[in-house]
Amino acid sequence: MRVAIAGGGLAGLACAKYLIDAGHTPIVLESRDVLGGLVAAWKDEDGDWYETGLHAFFGAYPNMLQLMNELGIADRLQWKQHTLIFNQPEKPGTYSRFDVPDIPAPINVIMSILKNNDMLTWYQKIRFAIGLTPAIVRGQQYVEEMDKYSFLEWLKRQGIGEDITSDVFIAATKALTFINPDEVSSTILLTALNRFLQERYGLEKLPFSMVHPQNGYASRSWIT
C-alpha cells in the first residue's frame, strides 16, 4: 500500500520506518522544510541554533532506544553527564545541580536529591520521598489511580510548598508536556518519575543542555 503520513516528527518518521519494514510505501507530508517536529534543530544565518521544543531523550525511554537500535545508529549516541541543572531566577547566574551517582536505582536518584541543599529543604525531601513511595511500591496501579488529581494537586497533598513547585516542577512539567502542573494529570509526571527511579541510567540524556535563563529546565540538542 501507499500510505500518507501527516507530519514528519518523530512519530511520523517512526511510522514510515515500520511501514517500510512491512513492505509498504509511506509518503510523509510535512509543512515545514525541517523534519523532526518538536525535536528539530537548525542553524540560522548567524550560526545560532534554533529549536522547536522538547529535546529531552532520557535513558528511561525504551521505545526510543529500540528505534535507534533498529536503525543501526545506537553506537552514535553521545550521552551527557547524569545531571539535572536548574537555574535559580532569584539568583542570576546561580545554578542548582542534581548530580546522579553511578550506582543502582533508585538509590542514585535519592542520593542526588539528598545532596541538593540549594532548592530543597529536608522537610521537602522527606515529604517528596513519602509521596513517591506508593508509586515505587505499588507501581503503575497507584500511578493510574492518581489521574484524578492534577500534578499540582498531588504535590499539595504531599505537603510540597509552592516555592519548590515554581522552581522545579513547573520546569519539569513544561519540559515533559508543555503544560503547567495545575493543568496536567499527575499520572503523566508520576509515570516518568517512577521510571526514572527504577532505572539506573533513567535520567541520563542524549546531547541536551538543561540550563535555561528562566525557569530552569530546558534543552538544546540535535541528533546526528
**10-residue stretch averages of pLDDT, the chain, 224 residues long:** 94 95 96 84 82 66 85 82 74 79 78 80 80 80 91 85 71 78 89 73 47 33 30
Three cell numbers, residue 162: 509552592
Contact 105, 116 (CB under 8 A): no
Instruction: Look at residue 12 in the predicted model and tell me its pLDDT.
Output: 94
Contact 55, 217 (CB under 8 A): no
Distance from C-alpha of 102 to C-alpha of 83, rounded to nearest angstrom: 11
Instruction: Look at residue 216 in the predicted model and tell me its pLDDT.
Output: 35
Work out the end-to-end distance of the chain between its first and last CA atoms, rounded to an integer number of angstroms: 30
Three cell numbers, residue 180: 503547567
Taken as a whole, the chain contains a residue count of 224
What residue ranges do the domains of the chain occupy? 1-53, 55-224
Instruction: Look at residue 89 in the predicted model and tell me its pLDDT.
Output: 67
Instruction: Look at residue 207 in the predicted model and tell me its pLDDT.
Output: 43
Backbone angles phi, psi at 65, to 5 degrees: -65, -40
Distance from C-alpha of 120 to C-alpha of 147, rounded to nearest angstrom: 26
Secondary structure class of 41 (helix, strand, coil): strand
Secondary structure class of 100 (helix, strand, coil): coil
Instruction: Look at residue 211 in the predicted model and tell me its pLDDT.
Output: 31
Nearest Cα neighbor of 159 from 188, 109, 122 is 122
Instruction: Look at residue 200 in the predicted model and tell me its pLDDT.
Output: 60
Residue 170 CB coordination number (10 Å):
18
pTM of this structure: 0.60
In Å, how far from its chain's centre is CA 190?
A: 12
